[in-house]
């Protein structure tokens, strides 16, 4: 879709006006610029970036990312099938998750995945057994829980001792020894992931220190890893997406360049989701009614928590814009809500918007990650559609 004129927020308004709401609007040029920036900041280093498919599994988005040669980070058989369909190379696929079922493991073995990120001893035993039955040797990394607090929302912190992910460092020797003793297991590396929407670099510096210590410990035991996988988590700017359309990839990769000591021949793997797709997506909705109650004014949209659950689930902030108000000098305060029968179906409280009326088009920004992929059919609502805009 070329030649459309962009409004002052950067939206191709002809597309926005013509598409039935609610829908996801993806700016493919921004996605490409982001992928190009990743390429630029990793060039010349043995770094392999894997796209965390869970952030957005839309086939068009996956195809675009696959053409940039990224690997895929998966957490289910469904994601594996979607990544295969989008032509990601199975050798560049990492498969994490605490509850991999037999069919999912077998599918991964069938395609000789680059790495199963193993989260427990029972899982390791089952992978060894299924690989044996299939005459395969499974590539694995052990997911380590480094007990680092990433200072992010409690639901998206994953690297602390109290949560279900990975294997604690105290048990790691035992699991490494067990993996090395198994005939159908090829232990390739160690995997870490400390959480999501991380904007400070300190947790990553701590992670590098932990990894360096573990590497020394295993080097002394003459155990060497081909791969160190530091997971994902790099955050984006939800409050000012127009001034920060691309996450601070330079600072992020520089942190690892500076702090991690890779061994000769070792690859450093990353699993970025949000930082790749978040800013390129917006949820577009129409105002159904403006309702004045005793104390508040509600702008009620035709999109709800079923389309974008992050505000309801995590109290996440997303910038909200009125794309069509003709009264931009007349600012008022609205609670922007959805139609779903839940009090948490709120996109934003006390939002300052230009005079907003029935029929106006609203953009909820920074919704490219964990938006469409977390949509549900609660209240028997239809799943949101998507449009893709590119001008180049």
Q: Which residues bind ligand LLP (CB under 6 A)?
A: 52, 55, 73, 96, 156, 158, 193, 196-197, 231-234, 271-275, 310, 314, 369-370
Q: Considering only CA atoms, which of 357, 339, 343 is closest in space to residue 22? A: 339
Contacts of 315 (CB under 8 A, 6+ apart): none
The string over 276-293, giving b where at least 16 C-beta atoms fall within 10 Å of a residue's C-beta and e elsewhere, is bbbbbbbbbbbbbebeee
What is the rounded CA–CA span in Å between residue 51 and residue 243?
A: 24
Shortest CB 157 distance to ligand LLP, Å: 10
Shortest CB 299 distance to ligand LLP, Å: 23
Q: Which residue number, 123 or 360, has a Cβ lying nearer to ligand LLP? A: 123
Q: Which residue number, 187 or 308, has a Cβ lying nearer to ligand LLP? A: 308
Shortest CB 174 distance to ligand LLP, Å: 22
Q: Which residue number, 107 or 375, has a Cβ lying nearer to ligand LLP? A: 375
Q: Which residue number, 104 or 271, has a Cβ lying nearer to ligand LLP? A: 271
Structure tokens of 169? 């460092």
Contacts of 48 (CB under 8 A, 6+ apart): 71, 92, 267, 268, 269, 270
Q: Which residue number, 232 or 241, has a Cβ lying nearer to ligand LLP? A: 232
What is the rounded CA–CA span in Å between residue 28 and residue 282?
A: 12
Structure tokens of 364? 């909820």
The alpha carbon of residue 307 and the mean position of all alpha carbons in its chain are separated, in whole angstroms, by: 17
Q: Which residue number, 152 or 324, has a Cβ lying nearer to ligand LLP? A: 152
Shortest CB 233 distance to ligand LLP, Å: 4
Q: Which residue number, 233 or 322, has a Cβ lying nearer to ligand LLP? A: 233
Shortest CB 4 distance to ligand LLP, Å: 29
Shortest CB 143 distance to ligand LLP, Å: 7
Shortest CB 273 distance to ligand LLP, Å: 3
Shortest CB 244 distance to ligand LLP, Å: 16
Q: Which residue number, 310 or 381, has a Cβ lying nearer to ligand LLP? A: 310
The string over 346-360, giving b where at least 16 C-beta atoms fall within 10 Å of a residue's C-beta and e elsewhere, is bbbeebebbbbeeeb
What is the rounded CA–CA span in Å between residue 231 and residue 216?
A: 20
Q: Considering only CA atoms, which of 145, 108, 125 is closest in space to residue 185? A: 125
Contacts of 110 (CB under 8 A, 6+ apart): 134
């Amino acid at each position: 879709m070329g030649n459309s004129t962009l409004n002052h927020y950067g939206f191709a308004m002809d597309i926005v006006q013509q598409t039935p709401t609610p829908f996801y609007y993806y700016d493919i040029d921004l996605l490409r610029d982001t992928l190009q920036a990743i390429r630029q900041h990793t060039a010349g280093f043995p770094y392999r970036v894997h796209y965390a498919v869970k952030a957005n599994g839309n086939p068009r988005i996956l195809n675009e990312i696959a053409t940039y040669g990224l690997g895929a980070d998966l957490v289910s058989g469904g994601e594996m099938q979607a990544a295969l369909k989008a032509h990601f190379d199975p050798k560049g696929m990492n498969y994490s998750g605490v509850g991999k079922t037999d069919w999912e493991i077998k599918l991964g073995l069938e395609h000789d995945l680059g790495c199963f990120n193993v989260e427990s001893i029972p899982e390791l035993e089952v992978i060894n057994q299924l690989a044996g039955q299939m005459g395969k040797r499974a590539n694995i990394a052990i997911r380590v829980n480094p007990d680092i607090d990433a200072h992010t929302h409690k639901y998206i912190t994953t690297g602390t001792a109290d949560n279900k992910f990975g294997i604690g460092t105290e048990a790691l020797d035992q699991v490494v020894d067990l993996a090395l003793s198994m005939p159908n297991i090829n232990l390739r590396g160690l995997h870490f992931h400390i959480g999501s929407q991380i904007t400070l670099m300190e947790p990553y510096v701590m992670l590098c220190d932990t990894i360096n210590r573990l590497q020394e410990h295993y080097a002394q035991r003459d155990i060497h890893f081909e791969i160190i996988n530091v997971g994902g988590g790099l955050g984006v700017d939800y409050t000012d997406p127009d001034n920060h359309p691309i996450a601070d990839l330079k600072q992020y990769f520089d942190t690892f360049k500076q702090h991690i000591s890779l061994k000769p021949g070792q690859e450093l793997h990353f699993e970025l989701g949000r930082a790749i797709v978040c800013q390129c997506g917006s949820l577009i909705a129409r105002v159904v009614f403006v309702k004045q109650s005793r104390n508040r004014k509600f702008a009620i949209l035709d999109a709800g928590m079923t389309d974008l659950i992050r505000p309801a689930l995590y109290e996440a902030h997303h910038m909200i814009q009125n794309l069509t108000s003709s009264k931009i000098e007349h600012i008022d305060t609205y609670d922007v809500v959805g139609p779903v029968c839940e009090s948490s179906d709120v996109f934003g409280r006390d939002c300052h918007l230009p005079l907003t009326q029935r029929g106006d088009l609203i953009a909820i920004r920074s919704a490219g990650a964990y938006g469409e992929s977390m949509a549900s059919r609660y209240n028997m609502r239809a799943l949101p559609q998507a449009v893709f805009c590119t001008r180049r």
